[in-house]
Amino acid sequence: MLSIGDFARHGRVSVRMLRHYDALGLLRPDRVDPATGYRSYGIGQLARLNRIVALKDLGFTLDQVGRILDARVGGAELRGMLMLRRADLEQRIAADRARLAQIETRLRIIEREGVMPVEEVVIRSVPAVRVAELSEVAADFEPSSIGPVVGKLFDELWQGLGRWIADNGYRTIGPSREVTLEYSEDSAKWVTELQEPIAPA
């Protein structure tokens, strides 16, 4: 028989965790001294402890671990649980890769320009929009004051957005659009969002 401390060392878990498993009924000690309450474990219980740790490492909850160990989960259900865990991990990996790509892009910008970019690019889903188009030939772009104010800024932002899309492994898949979020007589207070539909390249 092993004391709880020795058993914890053999199983590479904490004594506190063994007490928690005992309280949940996942791993009962072979013997509990009625006088002192000291727990003792058999060496053969290491196999069950190792299975608990392995299933936890796969991301199962302790309730699920108990059901699996006590044969209350059939093969088909276990397969389904593992497939869900795989899908969840794949989504997390994809999200982490996207974050890593953004970090790499920011590092390249800092190395190239020496500062953090002022503009932030955010990927998000937007609802479908129904649009109508009318075309006509115009003599000029009135009001004439708009062009000088926003033309240069839009050119720079569209070019920057295009670079970000290419640097992060995406491609454009449709027409772009500009959405004015805030408009006032003071052009310095205008807030315009540039939107570009993208997909992995």
Q: Model confidence over 36-93: pLDDT tens digits?
A: 989 999 999 999 999 899 889 888 899 989 988 887 777 788 888 889 889 989 999 9
pLDDT < 70 stretches in the chain: 115-121, 129-154, 183, 187-188
Domain ranges of the chain: 2-73, 74-118, 133-200
Residues in the chain: 201
What pLDDT is stored for residue 103 in this prediction?
84
Q: Which two tokens stand for residue 195?
A: 């939107």
Q: Which residue has the tokens 């053999």?
A: 10
Q: How far apart are CA 87 and CA 79, in angstroms?
A: 12
Tell me the pTM. 0.49
SS3 label, residue 90:
helix
DSSP label of 70: T
Strands 170-172 and 198-200, by their bridges, are antiparallel
First to last CA, the chain: 60
Fold type of domain 2-73: Multidrug-efflux Transporter Regulator; Chain: A; Domain 2 (1.10.1660)
